[in-house]
Amino acid sequence: MTPPILSLALPSVTGRVLSIQSHTVQGYVGNKSAVFPLQLLGYDVDPINSVQFSNHTGYPTFKGQVLNGGQLWDLIEGLEENELLYYTHLLTGYIGSVSFLNTVLKVVDKLRSVNPKLTYVCDPVMGDEGKLYVPQELVSVYREKVVPVASMLTPNQFEAEQLTGLRIQSEGDGREACNILHAAGPTKVVITSISMNGELLLIGSHQKNEGQSPEQFKIAIPKIPAYFTGTGDLTTALLLGWSNKYPEHLDLAAELAVSSLQAVLHRTMNDYKSAGHDPESSSLEIRLIQSQDDIRNPKIKFKAQRYD
C-alpha cells in the first residue's frame, strides 16, 4: 500500500523547502550550510545535492560527482510520480552549468503547477570581489530567465552589479540596484554585502505592492578579520527562514539573520584561536552545530535602519 502523503495530510506549520545546492562530505557549504539551520527553525527540508564533493574547492584537492540536468529531472519525476512534489519554498544556491540552471527553471514551473503560491528564494551565486567563478553565459540566464521567476533574491554586491549592469559605489546605487531587480520580478531583494568605506552594508528592499515604492533599509555589519566558507549559503537560508515567519517585515528577518550569522562567525573565529590557529591564515569552516542556540534564538545585536 502507498503510505499517506504526510506533507499534504500533515502540512508543516512553517513550510516545506526543496533545497537544490552543492554538498560536501566534510565541512559546511551549500546544503550542508543551509539544511540544518532551516530544520532548527522548524522547516521540513528536502535536499537535492547538485554536486557531491569530498570537501569544498578551497582545499588543495577535492573529489566527487556532479549532478547533471537530466539526473535532477529524474529526481523530480520520481517525486511527481508518487505525488510528493508539494513544497512551500524552493531554495537554490551555487549552480555550475547552463544546462543545470535551465532544468532548475523547469523545476520552478513544475513546483508552481502543484503549489501556485510557491516562494522561490534564489541566491544567484556567480562570483565575488570582481571575479566570476561560473561560466560567463550563466549571467544572462540568471538575468533574463531566473530573476523574473524568483520571489526573493540574495545577491552579493558583485552579483547585483552583474544582474543590473549598475556599478554599486554608494548606498544610493545599492537601493537603485534593488529597484531594477524589483522591476524584473522579485518582490524581496537583499544585497547581502556591499563593501563601502571600510565596512560592510546589507541593503534590503521589499516591494509590497506593484507600482509602489519599496520599503528599503540597511544594516551595518562590522568586518571580521578572517575568511569563512559557507556564509552566503547560511545567510540565504536564514533569510528564507525568518522572512517566512515575518512576511511583512523583511527588516526584522534581516536583523535576525545577520545577528545569527555574526554569532556563528565569532564563535568560529574564537574556537580556531583557542586551538592555536591564526584565523587570517586560511579559510575557516564555520562552527554550525556548536551555534544552534544562536540560530534558533538569535539575540538581535544588528539593527536595521530604514530609508525614508
In a domain, 283, yes or no: yes
Q: Is 233 a known active-site residue?
A: yes
In a domain, 6, yes or no: no
Say if CB 100 and CB 72 are below 8 A apart. Answer: yes
In a domain, 235, yes or no: yes
In a domain, 10, yes or no: no
pLDDT along the chain (308 residues), means of 10: 63 85 95 97 95 91 94 97 93 94 98 96 94 93 98 98 97 97 97 92 96 95 90 97 97 98 96 91 91 97 95
**Residue 6: its pLDDT value, please?**
64
Split into its structural domains, the chain has a count of: 1
Among the listed residues 123, 233, 251, 294, the single catalytic one is 233
In a domain, 292, yes or no: yes
In a domain, 110, yes or no: yes
CATH of the domain at 176: 3.40.1190.20
**Residue 3: its pLDDT value, please?**
65
Q: Residue 51 is part of which domain span?
A: 16-306
In a domain, 236, yes or no: yes
**Residue 172: its pLDDT value, please?**
97
**Residue 4: its pLDDT value, please?**
62
